[in-house]
Amino acid sequence: MKAIKYIIFGIALIFASESQAQISVNVNLGSPPQWGPSGYSNVRYYYLPDVHSYYDVQTSRFIYYSGNSWVHRKSLPTQYRNYDLYNGYKVVLSDYRGNAPYGLYKQHKVKYAKGYRGAPQKSIGNKPGNGNYKSKGNNGNHKSNGNKKDKKH
């Protein structure tokens, strides 16, 4: 009886010593938007200086101050419904880790003021409609104007 206990105890020790605690961290980022800057597939946030907002790639949501708090929405606020995300500058926050990039908003607002342009950027995808598009207020999902040509004045 004692021998069986020692055998079971020995087998348990073998399994315990063979198994190692492994920690696997899998950061599952969402797909970057087509208007996002190319070459940055492993970042979570962009800061959009022209509209004082952030974009969370993981959740596909914009983050901006509304009323008296930061909100997470699928689109920008109505005053920016015609903002061109393809041509607007995106500051890639590659050094930020966390869930609240707006904690650094005061620094971002000063460092990347409205109109800020850093290194040239190329979007991941092409702007819909080959340049002839009309915003539907959905911040990135544009619809072509069809055969209408833009008039130059």
Please tell me the total count of domains within the chain.
Answer: 1
| 123, 128, 134, 138 alpha-carbon torsion, rounded to 10° | -70
- Please give the pLDDT value at position 3: 77
* 103 Ramachandran zone, left/alpha/beta (phi>0; psi -120 to 50): alpha
* Residue 23 in domain: no
**Per-residue pLDDT tens digits for 32-73:** 999 999 999 889 999 999 999 999 999 999 999 999 999 999
Is residue 16 in a domain? no
Report if residue 98 sits inside a domain: yes
Enclosing domain of residue 44? 29-137
Which tens digit of pLDDT belongs to each residue from 88-131?
Answer: 999 999 989 999 999 999 999 999 999 999 999 999 999 887 55
Task: With respect to residue 10, please indicate whether it lies within any of the assigned structural domains.
Answer: no
What is the DSSP secondary-structure string of 73-131?
ESS--GGGTT--TTTS--EE-TT--SS-GGGGHHHHHHHT-TT---S---BSSPPGGGG
